[in-house]
């Protein structure tokens, strides 16, 4: 069965296939979760996650930036654990490749939903949420994986257009997407939102300018949103900082580095599964870091 929903020029395809308080220091998030100023070891919990292939069974999860890198790996990993995945990205061709890989698993449904965040409007985001509600009827999680940066650059050379694009993609549209999808999230029995942070936003540094400001804003947004969602204990939101990973984005921003020596996206997936899965219930408003700096 295929569902196609023509929303607008920006949101133009929705296809469903039916198938039978923060811590003061940063540590490896695969081993620690931050609750205020306390650190709780979760290594034993994470060790068991890959063994339960039905961990996310019957859940619907939206993954933004799912066409490559961490987003692609997370989408496949969530699907391997039973979730229906809404694949978001700019390029339909890349999403179709991920869709085909999920279809080959034989256990999960996949949905293609392209939208260019740079050009997206509030109406586009509302249409996206309405499409999910009308065509699928539920949403149990969002992984905000989309990120954009032109690379390090002095503030001296930041134009207004550069500031606007960077804030739009990395902070404003994700915030609007949370807002538009909140009715679906609060209706879910156990919903999780993962916002992708960055080390340059967690500890702002020279030359990372608008990107660092946007990612610092992500952490502030998560803390504020988690407090406002306290009336809904079934909904949680956390920041996850992947760290340096061998991805196309890293190759773009650090072309002179030997990125092949860095961890691969698959090396981080235990933490993504923990935050998206039921064992992280009640953990909200926190910042996790997948790697030591």
Which contiguous run of DSSP H or E holds residue 4? none
**Angle, vertex CA 132, rays to CA 97 and CA 70, nearest 5:** 40
What gap in Å lies between CA 70 and CA 86, rounded to an integer?
A: 15
Other Cβ atoms within 10 Å of 65 Cβ, number: 26
Distances (CA, A) of 280 to 51, 191, 272: 17, 10, 10
Q: Kindly give the confidence (pLDDT) of every residue in the chain, 293 residues in length, as a single tens digit, with 9 standing for 90 and above.
A: 333 333 433 333 333 333 333 333 333 344 344 444 333 334 455 655 556 889 999 999 999 999 999 999 999 999 999 999 999 999 999 999 999 999 999 887 899 999 999 999 999 999 999 999 998 999 999 999 999 998 889 999 999 999 999 999 999 999 999 999 999 999 999 999 999 999 888 989 999 999 999 999 999 999 999 999 999 999 999 999 988 776 666 566 556 666 666 778 888 888 999 999 999 999 999 999 887 54
In terms of C-beta distances under 8 Å and separation of at least 24 residues, what long-range contacts does 148-153 make, across chains too? 148/117, 148/118, 148/211, 149/208, 149/211, 149/249, 149/253, 151/252, 151/253, 152/207, 152/208, 152/253, 153/207, 153/209
For the chain, domains (ranges, CATH) are: 52-281 (3.40.50.720)
* Element housing 216 (H / E): helix 209-228
Q: What is the pLDDT of residue 48?
A: 55
Cα–Cα distance, 110 to 169 (Å, whole number): 24
> Are the CB atoms for 175 and 218 separated by under 8 Å?
no
Q: What is the reported pLDDT for 150?
A: 85
- Are 144 and 174 in contact, with CB atoms under 8 Å apart? yes
Alpha carbons within 13 angstroms on the beta-carbon side of residue 251 total 8
């Amino acid at each position: 069965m295929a569902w196609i929903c023509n929303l607008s020029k920006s949101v133009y395809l929705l296809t469903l296939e039916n198938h039978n308080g923060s811590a003061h220091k940063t540590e490896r998030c695969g081993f620690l979760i931050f609750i205020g100023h306390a650190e709780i070891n979760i290594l034993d919990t994470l060790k068991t996650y890959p063994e339960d292939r039905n961990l996310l069974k019957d859940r619907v999860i939206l993954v933004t930036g799912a066409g490559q890198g961490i987003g692609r790996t997370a989408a496949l990993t969530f699907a391997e654990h039973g979730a229906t995945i809404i694949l978001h990205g700019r390029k339909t061709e890349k999403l179709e490749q991920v869709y085909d890989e999920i279809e080959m698993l034989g256990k999960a449904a996949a949905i293609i939903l392209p939208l260019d965040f740079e050009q997206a409007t509030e109406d586009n985001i509302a249409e996206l949420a309405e499409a999910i509600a009308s065509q699928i009827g539920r949403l149990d999680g969002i992984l905000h994986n989309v990120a954009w940066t032109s690379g390090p650059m002095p503030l001296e050379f930041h134009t207004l257009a550069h500031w606007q694009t960077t804030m739009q993609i990395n902070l404003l549209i994700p915030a609007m997407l949370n807002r538009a999808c909140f009715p679906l999230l609060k209706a879910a029995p156990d919903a999780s939102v993962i916002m992708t942070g960055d080390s340059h936003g967690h500890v702002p540094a020279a030359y990372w300018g608008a990107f660092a400001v946007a990612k610092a804003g992500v952490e502030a947004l998560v803390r504020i949103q988690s407090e406002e969602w306290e009336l809904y204990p079934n909904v949680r939101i956390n920041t996850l900082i992947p760290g340096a990973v061998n991805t196309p984005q890293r190759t773009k921003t650090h072309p002179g580095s030997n990125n092949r020596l860095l961890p691969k996206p698959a090396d981080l997936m235990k933490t993504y599964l923990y935050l998206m899965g039921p064992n992280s219930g009640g953990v909200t408003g926190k910042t996790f870091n997948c790697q030591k700096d």
